[in-house]
């Protein structure tokens, strides 16, 4: 469909240029001939054709303009023809204007495309702190802009002995299966990590390229490698692969250097962000442990609930972002219990009315603690509603069924299972089999039945088979 529209647009532009040439020829004739001022208006259709139709359009229009201009007499009144010298000079001049204008517009379009690509990569870096997403965008854009076969980004390990794959585009899984690359085994990467940009015209014959057989199978011929650096520190390598012998132009090198710089910024920002998240995670984890340490029966509760919730989340095939939100929500779901006194926690199930109200309010207290932290905003619904029930008899709002957010329902299942396994001051914990049976009895009333079954299946506790009529007629031995 796009090609049809492009063809129609080209036909329309061509018709318009033809009309302009005819109008200029008529005006030149009416002005008295080629010696008049209107002869210079032929430059207009030549420039328009060069802009819209490129080199070929500009050249064809230049020749057409020169031919039409030659037909007009030098002086209409006397019928004096134009000298051949004027016709030839005008032809050369029109051709030069057409070709140079087309090249200038092509160069401007190229710069516009380069700027758009850099803007796209910069926007990606600024919009996301997920390193894998940003580096993937950079690799894909590098391939598209340079018409290469593929691009890969490798980062140095902490001990600086290996280059580990961080992102790639256009490479097969077989080629990527090589895994980490030892720096000591790769003369090519040693050069790049020293801060130099290295080009290999043919990897099949260059001894610096280690995986020549794998490159041949992948269809790789030429490689350009650039260091990823921040200041004086080099911490990775950007590689661009071509399936033919290719010398990267100055423009391509300039663009790839810009992409490498953007990748370096992304890596630096992601590491800073990860350090901040790790510090915050350690802080809130310590706070959760401190609250749980008040009661030996709940010590380690958040960690266990986190493990159970993530197990269910993986069984539900949540994406990495959803699993990360679930991890924070599970760890912080009881943070509101900071408002309970040591005495009320120690009494367990024997709470007075004020303690009971405080306990039921702990999800709301929890979100009031977490709300000022902007990046924890996705966690708030799960913390707020993890004590809602499937039948609508929970708190704090009495939501029912799928009105309850999915992550809150996952937390409810994990929370209930840990409660059954751990027990309370007045009742010991249940075995895995007993806890699974008890959890199934809560499905459909307290818990989401489908999530409950999925969780138990992930634990290796399949749903029991229906008993036969004869078996149902016998008294239950557990009764």
275 phi/psi in degrees, rounded to 5? -65, -40
Distance CA 131, CA 108 (A): 32
Question: What's the predicted TM-score (pTM) here?
Answer: 0.53
Q: Which fold has domain 293-465?
A: Hypothetical protein af1432 (1.10.3210)
Res 53: pLDDT: 79
353 or 371, which is more confident? 371
Answer yes or no: are the C-beta atoms of 139 and 214 closer than 8 Å. Answer: no
pLDDT surpasses 90 at 348:
no
pLDDT surpasses 70 at 355:
no
Res 298: pLDDT: 62
Res 417: pLDDT: 93
Res 119: pLDDT: 60
Quote the radius of gyration of the chain (alpha carbons, Å): 36
**pLDDT tier, 350 (very low <50, low <70, confident <90, very high otherwise):** low
Across 218-222, 374-378, 408-412, 428-432, the highest mean pLDDT is recorded for 408-412
351 or 204, which is more confident? 204
**273 prior amide bond cis, ω within 30:** no
Mean pLDDT, residues 256-269? 77
The percent of residues in the chain predicted with pLDDT above 70, rounded, is 82
Mean pLDDT, residues 220-232? 86
Res 391: pLDDT: 93
Three-state secondary structure readout of the chain = CHHHHHHHHHHHHHHHHHHHHHHHHHHHHHCCCCCCHHHHHHHHHHHHHHHHHHHHHHHHHHHHHHHHHHHCCCECCCCECCCHHHHHHHHHHHHHHHHHHHHHHHHHHHHHHHHHHHHHHHHHHHHCCCHHHHHHHHHHHHHHHHCCCEEEEEEECCCCCEEEEEEEECCCHHHHCCCCEEHHHCHHHHHHHCCCCEEECCCCCCCCCCCHHHHHHHCCCEEEEEEEEECCEEEEEEEEEECCCCCCCHHHHHHHHHHHHHHHHHHHHHHHHHHHHHHHHHHHHHHHHHHHCCCCCCCCHHHHHHHHHHHHHHHCCCCHHHHHHHHHHHHHCCHHHHHCCHHHHHHCCCCCHHHHHHHHHHHHHHHHHHCCCHHHHHHHHHHHHCCCCCCCCCCCCCCCHHHCCHHHHHHHHHHHHHHHHHEECCEECCCHHHHHHHHHHHECCCECHHHHHHHHHHCCCCCCCCCCHHHHHCCCCCC
pLDDT surpasses 70 at 192:
yes
How would you label 211-236 residue by residue, b for 16+ Cβ within 10 Å and e otherwise? eeebbeebebbbbbbbbbbeeeebbb
Mean pLDDT, residues 192-196? 88
How would you label 288-310 residue by residue, b for 16+ Cβ within 10 Å and e otherwise? beebbebbebbeebbbbbbebbb
Residue given tokens 């953007």 in the structure block: 262
Res 471: pLDDT: 41
Answer yes or no: are the C-beta atoms of 197 and 227 closer than 8 Å. Answer: yes
pLDDT surpasses 90 at 234:
no
Least confident piece of the model among 14-28, 63-77, 193-207, 336-350: 336-350
Q: Which fold has domain 132-269?
A: Beta-Lactamase (3.30.450)
pLDDT surpasses 80 at 118:
no
Q: How far is CA 268 from the centre of its chain?
A: 17
For the chain, the average pLDDT equals: 80
Res 474: pLDDT: 42
pLDDT surpasses 50 at 472:
no
355 or 334, which is more confident? 334
The percent of residues in the chain predicted with pLDDT above 90, rounded, is 18
């Amino acid at each position: 469909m796009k090609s049809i529209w492009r063809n129609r647009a080209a036909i329309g532009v061509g018709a318009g240029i033809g009309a302009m040439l005819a109008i200029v020829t008529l005006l030149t004739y009416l002005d008295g001939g080629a010696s008049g001022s209107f002869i210079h208006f032929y430059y207009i259709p030549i420039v328009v054709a060069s802009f819209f139709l490129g080199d070929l359009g500009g050249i064809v229009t230049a020749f057409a303009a020169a031919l039409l201009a030659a037909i007009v007499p030098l002086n209409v009144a006397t019928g004096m023809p134009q000298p051949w010298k004027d016709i030839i000079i005008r032809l050369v001049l029109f051709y030069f204007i057409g070709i140079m204008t087309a090249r200038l517009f092509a160069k401007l379009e190229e710069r516009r495309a380069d700027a758009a690509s850099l803007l796209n990569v910069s926007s990606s870096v600024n919009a996301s702190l997920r390193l894998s997403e940003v580096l993937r965008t950079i690799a894909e854009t590098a391939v598209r802009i340079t018409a290469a076969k593929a691009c890969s980004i490798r980062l140095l390990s902490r001990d600086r002995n290996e280059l580990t794959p961080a992102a790639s585009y256009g490479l097969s899984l077989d080629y990527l299966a090589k895994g980490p690359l030892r720096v000591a085994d790769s003369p090519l990467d040693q050069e790049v990590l020293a801060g130099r940009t290295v080009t290999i015209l043919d990897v099949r014959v260059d001894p610096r390229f280690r995986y020549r057989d794998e490159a041949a199978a992948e269809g790789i011929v030429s490689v350009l490698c650039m260091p990823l650096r921040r200041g004086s520190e080099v911490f990775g390598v950007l590689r661009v692969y071509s399936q033919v012998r290719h010398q990267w132009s100055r423009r391509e090198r300039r663009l790839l250097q810009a992409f490498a710089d953007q990748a370096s910024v992304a890596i630096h920002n992601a590491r800073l962000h990860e350090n901040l998240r790790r510090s915050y995670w350690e802080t809130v984890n310590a706070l959760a442990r401190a609250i749980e340490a008040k009661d030996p029966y709940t010590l380690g509760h958040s960690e266990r609930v986190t493990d159970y919730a993530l197990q269910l989340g993986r069984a539900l095939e949540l994406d990495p972002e959803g699993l990360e939100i679930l991890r924070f929500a599970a760890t912080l779901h009881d943070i509101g219990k900071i408002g309970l006194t040591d005495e009320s926690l120690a009494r367990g199930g024997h709470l007075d009315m004020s303690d009971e109200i405080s306990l039921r309010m702990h999800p709301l207290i929890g979100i009031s603690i977490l709300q000022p932290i902007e990046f924890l905003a996705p966690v708030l619904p799960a913390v707020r509603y993890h004590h809602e029930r499937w039948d609508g008899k929970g708190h704090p709002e009495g939501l029912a069924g799928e009105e309850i957010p999915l992550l809150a329902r996952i937390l409810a299942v994990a929370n209930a299972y840990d409660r059954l396994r751990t027990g309370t001051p007045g009742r010991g914990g249940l075995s895995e089999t007993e806890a699974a049976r008890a959890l199934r009895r809560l499905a459909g009333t307290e818990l989401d039945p489908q999530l409950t079954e999925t969780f138990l299946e992930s634990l290796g506790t399949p749903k029991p088979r229906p008993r036969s009529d004869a078996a149902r007629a016998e008294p239950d031995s557990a009764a």
